[in-house]
Amino acid sequence: MKSTPVHPLGTRAKILLSSVFGPYAQDDAYGSRTVNPMELYQNQVTRTQGALSLRMFHRSFGLMLLQANIDAPCTLLDFPSRERFIQEIQEQPYDVIGIGAILPNTAKVVEMCALVRRFQPRATLVIGGHIANKGDLDRIVDADHIVKGDGVQWFRKFLGQDEKAPVRHPAVLSGFGTRIMGTPLPTSPGSTAAILIPSVGCPMGCNFCSTSAMFGGKGKFVSFYETGDELFAVMQGIATELQVRSFFVLDENFLLQRKRALRLLELMEQHHKSWSLYVFSSARVLQSYSMEQLIGLGISWVWMGLEGKQSQYAKLNGVDTRALVKSLQSQGIRVLGSSIIGLEHHTPENIHAIIDDAIAHDSDFHQFMLYTPIAGTPLYAQHQSQGTLIPESQLPPADVHGQYRFNYRHPHIHDGREEQFLLDAFNRDLAVNGPSLARLIRTTLDGWLRYKKSPDQRVRERFAQRAKVLRTTYAGAVWAMSRWYRDDARIGGQMRALLARLYREFGWSTRIVAAVVGRYLYRMMKKEDLRLAQGWTYEPASFYEHNAAALALPRMLPKAIRSPLPRLGAMRENAMGRSV
Cα(449)–Cα(438) distance, integer angstroms = 17
Q: Nearest 5 degrees, angle CA 90-CA 92-CA 94?
A: 105
Per-residue pLDDT of the chain (580 residues; tens, 9 = 90+): 445 479 999 999 999 999 999 999 999 889 899 999 999 999 999 999 999 999 999 999 999 999 999 999 999 999 999 999 999 999 999 999 999 999 999 999 999 999 999 999 999 999 999 999 999 999 999 999 999 999 999 999 999 999 999 999 999 999 999 999 999 998 888 899 999 999 999 888 889 888 888 888 888 889 999 999 999 999 999 999 999 999 999 998 999 999 999 999 999 999 999 999 999 999 999 999 999 999 999 999 999 999 877 767 767 777 899 999 999 999 999 999 999 999 999 999 999 999 999 999 999 999 999 999 999 999 999 999 999 999 999 999 999 999 999 999 999 999 999 999 999 999 999 999 999 999 999 999 999 999 999 999 999 999 999 899 999 999 999 999 999 999 999 999 999 999 999 999 999 999 999 999 999 999 999 999 999 999 999 999 999 999 999 999 876 555 544 333 333 344 455 443 443 3
Residue-range domains of the chain with CATH: 10-37+58-161+541-579 (3.40.50.280), 176-433 (3.80.30.20), 449-533 (no CATH)
Beta-carbon contacts of residue 455 (< 8 Å; ≥ 6 apart): none
| SS3 of residue 352 by DSSP | helix
| SS3 of residue 542 by DSSP | coil
Count the neighbouring beta carbons within 10 Å of the beta carbon of residue 556: 7
Beta-carbon contacts of residue 342 (< 8 Å; ≥ 6 apart): 370, 371, 406, 410, 413, 418, 421
What's the predicted TM-score (pTM) here? Answer: 0.93
Query: How would you classify the pairing of strands 276-281 and 246-249?
Result: parallel
| H or E element that contains 461 | helix 457-471
| H or E element that contains 301 | strand 299-307
Burial (CB < 10 A; 0-12, 13-18, 19+), residue 523, is middle
